[in-house]
Copies of this chain bind each other. A is one copy, B any other.
Amino acid sequence: GAAPEGGDPSSEDPWQDDEYFGSYGTLRLHLEMLSDRSRTEAYRQVVASNSASLKNKVVMDLGCGTGIISLFCAQLAQPSAVYAVEASSMVEHTRQLVKQNGCEEVVTVLQGRAEELELPEQVDILVSEWMGNCLLFEFMVESVLLARDRWLRDGGVMWPSSAALTLVPCQADSYYSEKMAFWERPYGLDFTPLQPLAQQEFFTKPKFSHLIDPEDCLSVPCDVIRLNMYTVQVRDLEEVKGEFQFSVAKPGVFHGFTAWFTVQFESLETGGATVELNTGPNSDPTHWKQTLFMLDTPTPVNAGDSIHGNVILRRNPVWRRHMTVTLHWKINSSTDNCQVGTKHFPMWR
């Protein structure tokens, strides 16, 4: 969700933990995540398809929320212990749910932040649902990496094991019409003086919760960033950069870029099948939906045009859960001269 604007960092927590963990102390977000069947069934599938190998293993479920993943582990497999860790006040209810489902022998619920975590033993598997909009937003991944470095045994397994951010140049005609073209002639009047305000208000930040129609993708999508969850370091998150090279597949209007992520869960067995959770437009919609980055000016493009450039995710040096996404692009078309552009999208500060 949107964080409040402005504010004085000296008097505020740059992690905004009261706000962040506070929102996870109410049911609304947990219901949204649990109701997301693609997401929740992916984790269930990971546990179910690895149930034999999970026997006698020690699992940590970081940011467990209602404890659903820990309960899957306890009910579908026979781990020796599951440590379900949650920083928000939801944890009281998590304990109740573990009891209600008869899992209290296996699942230990611990309240606290990853940074302050104390466990009686190292773990074989660190599972977590840490992904945010554009994969990294809210940077819960930092807590996962800290927990990994401290508590995952050598040779232990990370779930997810890898992650990718995918980008595609796209049309967004109805969004553009609704927010920008609308002012041209509403009810026979000329409201164009409001267009600069509309651009500022609707196109400066990315649009979360966009569901892109696959028909609006102007090209085959491209993975621009990949994270190996075993090797990525917290310091690497300060600036993450990727390149793209798209070939426009059909004539259309280039309104912006749409981004989404995929994560992969490797099997505990050598040669076992990898489970993937894909939040893109060709999979069932998830609660993350996709993220739309609107450019300031729509550009007509033709089949065969190339759109290349790069994307940089720069973590906000003050507000540690926020970042700015910078897009640089160059359009090479057979007919026109090339066009270049750069736009910075704060998410959210």
Contact = CB atoms under 8 A, between A and B. Distances in A.
Interface of A: 26-28, 31, 34-35, 40-41, 44, 66, 68, 71-72, 75, 93, 96-97, 100-101, 178-179, 182, 186-194, 197-198, 201-202
A100 B193 contact: yes
Interface of A, helix, strand, loop or mixed by DSSP: helix
Given A96-B193, A97-B191, 20 more contacts: A26-B201, A27-B194, A27-B197, A27-B202, A31-B198, A34-B182, A34-B187, A35-B182, A40-B187, A41-B187, A68-B187, A93-B193, A93-B194, A97-B189, A97-B193, A97-B194, A100-B192, A100-B193, A101-B189, A101-B190
A201 B30 CA distance: 12
B194 A68 contact: no
- In the A-B complex, list the 7 residue pairs whose CB atoms are closest, starting with the nearest: A96-B193, A27-B201, A100-B190, A100-B193, A27-B197, A101-B189, A71-B189
Q: How many copies does the complex hold?
A: 2
A89 to B, nearest CB: 11
Contacts of A186: 34, 68
A187 B97 contact: no
Contacts of A201: 26-28
5 contacts: A26-B201, A34-B187, A72-B187, A93-B194, A97-B194
A64 B289 CA distance: 36
A27 B203 CA distance: 12
A207 to B, nearest CB: 13
Contacts of A31: 179, 182, 198
Given A71-B189, A75-B188, A187-B72, A66 B194 contact: yes
Nearest to A41: B187
| Most chain B beta-carbon neighbours within 10 Å: one of A28, A34, A68, A182 | A34
A72 B178 CA distance: 22
A108 to B, nearest CB: 18
Contacts of A190: 97, 100-101
Nearest to A191: B97
B44 A187 contact: yes
Contacts of A34: 182, 186-187
A37 to B, nearest CB: 9
A198 to B, nearest CB: 6
A191 B98 CA distance: 9
Contacts of A66: 191, 194
Nearest to A201: B27
A188 B76 CA distance: 11
A35 B202 CA distance: 15
Contacts of A202: 27
